[in-house]
Chains A and B, each alone.
Chain A
Amino acid sequence: GQQVMQIPQYQHVQEGEDFTTYCNSSTTLSNIQWYKQRPGGHPVFLIQLVKSGEVKKQKRLTFQFGEAKKNSSLHITATQTTDVGTYFCAGRDSNYQLIWGAGTKLIIKP
């Protein structure tokens, strides 16, 4: 079946360092969404990308959707403790169903 692979599974960073997570789909996606889940919390929608090659920014967060609409990335500049959590991508397939990545856990080193 269709899959969205998300890497890495974990990323440990010092506060102030950058963080990036990547998602790759086996098939072309209609669009891709990104969610953040704080520890012990529920997923919260961050953004949706629709167009090929689209780049969107939210303050220190930069989201990209690949030209072939098969991959996407989330980059956080100068991480802060409030960024801690797990980031999920979820791509919409041709049937408009969401296919979820396994998530990347951002951990700030003490």
Chain B
Amino acid sequence: NAGVTQTPKFQVLKTGQSMTLQCAQDMNHEYMSWYRQDPGMGLRLIHYSVGAGITDQGEVPNGYNVSRSTTEDFPLRLLSAAPSQTSVYFCASTLNFSPGQGSAGELFFGEGSRLTVL
């Protein structure tokens, strides 16, 4: 199994440009999420989805958009990139998100996408 696959691994943008970070998982996981990681700040949740057609905002959603048209894919769109969005982005998934359904809820992470906005 490939697990969680993120592309691209590295990207440099100019302020105001838009782009999409791709995330795909082949584990039939219901729950998918996007995090950003900045030095000394741990992981901050941007958006998440508990199933196809359902998305919700996390802690830091501004400037980002998501959609979940299939179980496998959860792309993250930067609408107009800003230097404050320079970060490492991680996609993560888990089988399901509700207690008592037989899953520990452990997150499986992609390898990350390092984004620099100039």
Q: Which residues of A contact B (CB under 8 A)?
A: 6, 9, 30-31, 33, 35, 41-45, 48, 88, 90, 92, 96-98, 100-103
Q: How far is the CA of A31 from the CA of B44 in the complex (A)?
A: 19
Chain B nearest CB from A82 CB (Å) reads 19
Contact residues in A for B111 (Cβ distance below 8 Å): 41-42
Q: Is residue B97 contacting chain A, with contact meaning CB distance below 8 A?
A: yes
Question: Contact: A101 with B42, CB < 8 Å?
Answer: yes
Instruction: Knowing A30-B99, A42-B90 are in contact, say whether A9-B109 is a contact too (CB < 8 A).
Output: no
Q: Are B98 and A43 in touch, CB under 8 angstroms?
A: no
Chain B, 67-94, CB within 8 A of any chain A CB = 90, 92
Measured CA separation A45–B103 after assembly (Å): 13
The answer to whether A48 touches B106, judged by C-beta atoms less than 8 angstroms apart, is yes
| CB atoms of B108 and A45 under 8 A apart | yes
A45-B106, A101-B42 known; 9 other A-B pairs, CB under 8 Å?
A41-B111, A42-B109, A43-B90, A44-B109, A45-B108, A48-B105, A48-B106, A90-B43, A92-B105
Is B106 a contact partner of A33 (Cβ separation < 8 A)? yes
- Chain B residues within 8 Å of A, Cβ to Cβ: 40-45, 90, 92, 97-99, 104-112
Query: Which single residue of chain B is at the shortest CB-CB distance from A44?
Result: B109
Interface contact B104-A48, CB-CB below 8 Å: yes
B44 → A minimal CB distance (Å)? 8
Q: In the complex, which residue of chain B has the Cβ closest to the Cβ of A30?
A: B99
How far is it, in angstroms, between the C-alpha of A33 and the C-alpha of B106 when the chains are bound?
Answer: 8
Q: Give Cα A62 to B26, complex, Å.
A: 32
- Contact check: which of A42, A45, A103 meets B42 at CB < 8 Å? A103
The answer on a CB contact under 8 Å between B42 and A88 is yes
Cβ–Cβ < 8 Å partners of B90 in chain A: 42-43
Contact (A43, B106) CB under 8 Å given A96-B97, A96-B98, A96-B99 = no
